[in-house]
Amino acid sequence: MECTRCGRNASIEINYSKDLLCNRCFLELFEKRVRKSIRANRLLNPRDKTAVALSGGKDSAVVLSILKELHKRAPRAGLLAISIDQGVDVCGRTLDASRKICERLGVEHHVFTFREEFGLTLDELVKKTRGIENAAPVCSYCGVLRRRLLNDKARKLGVSKIATGHNLDDEIQTSMMNFIRGELDRMARMGPIVGVVRDAGFIPRIKPLRDSPEDEVLLYARLKGLEFEPSKCPYSQDALRKTIRSAIDLIEEKHPGSKFQMLKSTDRLIPIIRSSMEAGEIRKCSICGEVTSGRLCRVCQIKKELGIY
Ligand SMILES: [Zn+2]
Ligand SMILES: [Zn+2]
């Protein structure tokens, strides 16, 4: 097999483009697509101070590695990494991986813990949610607290953008979940850059891997020898996402290119849904002062529910 780009020995088959690639051409194409995505969606400007939300998984490791390369050419831009330790077993390993990659790439690394910031670990949070009637899935509690912590700390560090590792598969799974659950307001909040308009205290989040398929992100991380931890959080068990993931993978297998098409369709729907929605009243949370649509923000609601004041 010859690489369709350079003629060297090819080892990678890309179904949707019918390309056969050697390792070098694959890495090049992958990076080119990420750079193009950053440019086309105006994710970064030369003076941004960017924090990568580093989970220890493959996706954020790839984001960090690629942004580090880009920053070598942008002397006025800043780059750092923030990790959140939720205090479950797997976190020890993910933190190790995060520390290693930051050390090797020479990126400043900040770690914050659930225990110090909220006074409990995720394990303890899980126990508390078991006592609540109609409790939301644990991931939604954890996600809300994690995002707030990340935003607060990034703000204190003078960060202007937070980069996350969301890849193509994550995005279209979320899109399909929102569609199935009829949560179109959530669909309206999707996109390559989110959280720009609402409030000066909210740091915009960018997703440089949003058009990179998950299997290619994994391959990229492996070929580059990036440090990452493959195990997932023991509490992550979104049944609907799992079903959708296998359904979408099957569609892609039978009809290569469908994943990209789903993202395109999602991106065409977002502005239509946004324009049809009434702008909700923006208020300040009566406890912490963060922007919210109700009296209490979601974080303060959760703290109250769990009794963690
Ligand atoms: Zn090649
Ligand atoms: Zn609040």
- pLDDT 10s digits, 78-125: 999 999 999 887 777 899 999 999 999 999 999 999 999 988 888 888
Which ligand does the CA of 304 lie closest to?
2
CA of 25 to the centre of ligand 1 (A): 4
Look at the alpha carbons of 39, 43, 48, 53 in this order and tell me if their dihedral is positive or negative: negative
**Helical H runs in 54-137?**
58-71, 89-105, 114-118, 122-130
Distance in angstroms (rounded) separating the CA atoms of residues 88 and 85 = 8
CA of 1 to the centre of ligand 1 (A): 11
Does pLDDT of 196 surpass 70?
Answer: no
Residue spans per domain, the chain: 32-277, 280-309
CA of 291 to the centre of ligand 2 (A): 8
Q: Give the per-residue pLDDT at 199.
A: 63
CA of 264 to the centre of ligand 2 (A): 35
- What spatial distance separates the first Cα and last Cα of the chain, rounded to whole Å? 62
CA of 89 to the centre of ligand 1 (A): 41
Does pLDDT of 194 surpass 90?
Answer: no
CA of 187 to the centre of ligand 2 (A): 24
CA of 175 to the centre of ligand 2 (A): 27
Task: Work out the percent of the chain whose per-residue pLDDT is above 90.
Answer: 69
Task: Work out the percent of the chain whose per-residue pLDDT is above 70.
Answer: 97
CA of 19 to the centre of ligand 1 (A): 10
Which ligand does the CA of 5 lie closest to?
1
Q: Give the per-residue pLDDT at 125.
A: 86
Q: Give the per-residue pLDDT at 9.
A: 96
CATH no., domain 32-277 = 3.40.50.620
pTM of the model: 0.93
CA of 151 to the centre of ligand 2 (A): 13
CA of 35 to the centre of ligand 2 (A): 37
Instruction: Taking residues 129-133, report their average pLDDT.
Output: 81
Q: Are 284 and 290 in contact (CB under 8 A)?
A: yes
Which ligand does the CA of 299 lie closest to?
2
User: pLDDT band at residue 137, thresholds of 50, 70 and 90?
Assistant: confident
Q: Give the per-residue pLDDT at 217.
A: 98
